[in-house]
Amino acid sequence: MFRIATSLRLFCTFAILIVARVLAAQSPPDPDFVRQEIFPSYADFKSELLSIVDLADVGERTAQLNAFWTTLQNAGQVPYAQGDQVAFLYRSSASSVSWPGDFNGWNPNSAGWQGTRFAGTDLWILEKTLPTDARLDYKVVANGNWLLDPANSLQMWGGFGPNSELRMPDYVFDQNTVRQPGVPRGNLTGNITTNSSHLGYNVNYRVYTPAGYDDQQLTNLPTVYVTDGHEYSADHLGSTVVVLDNLIDAGTLQPTIAVFVDPRDPSSGQNRRIEQYTGNPAFVNFVANELVEEIDAEYRTLDAATGRTILGTSLGGVNSAYFGGTRSDVFENIAVQSPSNFSSIFGLYQTQSLQDDVDLYVTAGTIGDGSGGVNFTNLLTANGYDFEFTQVSEGHSWGNWRALLDEMLSHLVGETPALAADFDNNRVVDQNDLARWQTGFGILAGASHFDGDTEADRDTDGSDFLTWQQQLGLGVQATAMSPAVPEPSSVVILTWSVASSTAFYRWRMSRRS
């Protein structure tokens, strides 16, 4: 009985540790990390290190090295990085240590990436020069065992699990990938299963709707279709839902719907992305003909090619390019991240004149991210396309892709419409917006745009009404509508009463305080 109880306790303890490790690994990367500067220069760091490892007395050498190591860890300086120089460091009695990562194709046997052990110590070192703004994933391989760097708390999750993360001194973490306090959250459905006649099998997808979609009856919303949707939608990977919430709240992205398409078989879990994303007409037709029709029928979308974006990375980036080259009648906005190098698909933009049919945004890393992005944009340039191209000092990693979503989406989908009095965001200023202003009138603190605040001053008052009156009838439906503009005398009376009421309300509130 004692043995059973002891075994059960050990099993439970082991299970708890495993779960805790998985949960920690799936946490988003640390947005608040600060690399502290310990030495005036990298040369000073190296000089101090050498003075310690060269000590003749073993006990003193070990004690000082331990103290030095603690200082580095507390300062977030393992690896140690200053300027464009970095020292990968690892303490182990292993006979061989190397550092595979974005910078060497994840090859632990890559020439020049093996560490050197300081004689008489357990400290291994590898020194390199990297761009000062680089952000790269890596692991430690000791005696053939792949390990997370135990002295580095920074991690970035990838498709195969967590990696250790190196942030060089000038790297700036994109705060739009982090949930911000007070930002309203949109809604992300669970898996929705649909059967595709084009593909001949079931496909799962999830739908994001922005905050206020239901209670504010938002209409004519642009839609972003996202491949590898199970990873783009995860906070610890693509962080797309977080980015959408933050951008929409800030007004740098208009309220937007996102459809996250999962490439995995709903039953077996088999990932079918290689089949789907490499120029597959059946997959394109499934999305463009079947899924779009399903989404447009169920949600209040902007049913036009100008209102649709296709987004993907790696093979998914190639797939985005293929959508633009074959179905620009459905998808005008083409978002391509770190595309694999498929010249046959890129060539669609050379053999066809699509310059006026697509809006292209391409991103790529400059370290271990392949040549697909550069080759594609070179072809676009040679054939007279207008496009956006962003390159960063990073590799083929979710840390790269997630941090570029904000600029990409803001460019392709667009900011919140400039019509300040369009309180219900249906792209036209009408009597419904007046009703919303009337409901919010008198709110002196905490008012939002949806409460009738046109000036972002957090109150709803007479000046907001005047903005509504000036913009009445403007918007996408302006040519088809004949707004009933209040008669001048009615406007004067209403404006006077609004101004008087606002002034009285402010006076009354000031008397209470």
In this structure, what CATH number is given to the domain that contains residue 235? 3.40.50.1820
- Asked if residue 124 belongs to a domain, the reply is yes
pLDDT band at 418 (very low <50, low <70, confident <90, very high): low
Q: If you compute the radius of gyration of the chain from its CA atoms, what whole number of angstroms results?
A: 28
Among 412, 443, 458, identify where a domain stops. 412
Q: How far is CA 464 from CA 1, 21, 469, 485, in A?
A: 76, 52, 9, 16
- Asked if residue 426 belongs to a domain, the reply is no
Q: What is the pLDDT of residue 475?
A: 67
Same-domain check for residues 70 and 98: yes
Tokens 């979609």 correspond to what residue? 213
Same-domain check for residues 326 and 363: yes
- Asked if residue 421 belongs to a domain, the reply is no
Same-domain check for residues 239 and 351: yes
pTM for the structure as a whole = 0.79
Q: What is the pLDDT of residue 286?
A: 98
Q: For 208-243, write each residue's pLDDT tens digit.
A: 999 999 887 788 899 999 999 999 999 999 999 999
- Asked if residue 68 belongs to a domain, the reply is yes
- Asked if residue 499 belongs to a domain, the reply is yes
Among 142, 173, 204, identify where a domain stops. 173
Same-domain check for residues 195 and 313: yes
Q: Is 4's pLDDT higher than 70?
A: no
Q: Which domain holds residue 156?
A: 2-173
- Give the pair of three-digit tokens for residue 103: 């910078």
Q: What secondary structure letter does DSSP report for 291?
A: I
Domain of 14, CATH number, reads: 2.60.40.10
Q: For 107-135, write each residue's pLDDT tens digit.
A: 999 999 999 999 999 999 999 999 999 99
H helix runs in 163-288, sequence order: 229-232, 240-250, 273-276, 281-285
How much is the mean pLDDT over the chain?
A: 88
What domain count does the chain have? 3
Sequence-distant (≥ 6) Cβ neighbours of residue 428 within 8 angstroms: 419, 422, 473, 474, 475, 476, 477, 478, 481
Among 412, 439, 473, identify where a domain stops. 412
- Asked if residue 375 belongs to a domain, the reply is yes
H helix runs in 185-224, sequence order: none
Same-domain check for residues 276 and 332: yes
